[in-house]
Structure 1
Amino acid sequence: MPHDKLNLPVKICAVCQRPFNWRKKWARDWHQVRYCSERCRRAAKQAPSANG
């Protein structure tokens, strides 16, 4: 069974601005995923909001 990892969707992390690839655990929620890791998700919550 060949694995074709070159054609996976890619997004840019909202915190670290690094690209990250689709993961199977995100299959149902890919449209909502914004962060590459739990560390970036926590950092986003701790940063002061720019919206007020």
Structure 2
Amino acid sequence: MKKGELPVKLCACCGLPFTWRKKWVRCWDEVRYCSERCRRARRSAAQT
């Protein structure tokens, strides 16, 4: 599979597009954030 053919999602925190990674092969449906930084920022913003 070529890199241009990989699935793309939008990050729930920053709204930037990110592509599928091999480490997400089993959990791609649950992935919502492009990075740990966005995941942490979303969680802390919801608490305040």
How does the TM-score come out when normalised to structure 1? 0.85
Q: How many residues align structurally?
A: 47
Q: How far off is 1:19 after superposition?
A: 0.1
Identity of aligned residues (%): 62
Deviation at 1:17, TM superposition (A): 0.1
Superposition misfits of 4+ residues, deviation over 6 angstroms = none
Partner residue in 2 for 1:11: 9
Residue aligned with 1:32, SS: coil
Counterparts of 1:27-42 in structure 2, within 5 Å, are 27-42=25-40
What TM-score, normalized by structure 2, do the two folds share?
0.91
Q: 5+ residue gaps in structure 1?
A: none
Q: Distance in 2 between matches of 1:40 and 1:48?
A: 12
Mapped to 2, the partners of 1:14 and 1:48 lie a distance apart of 13
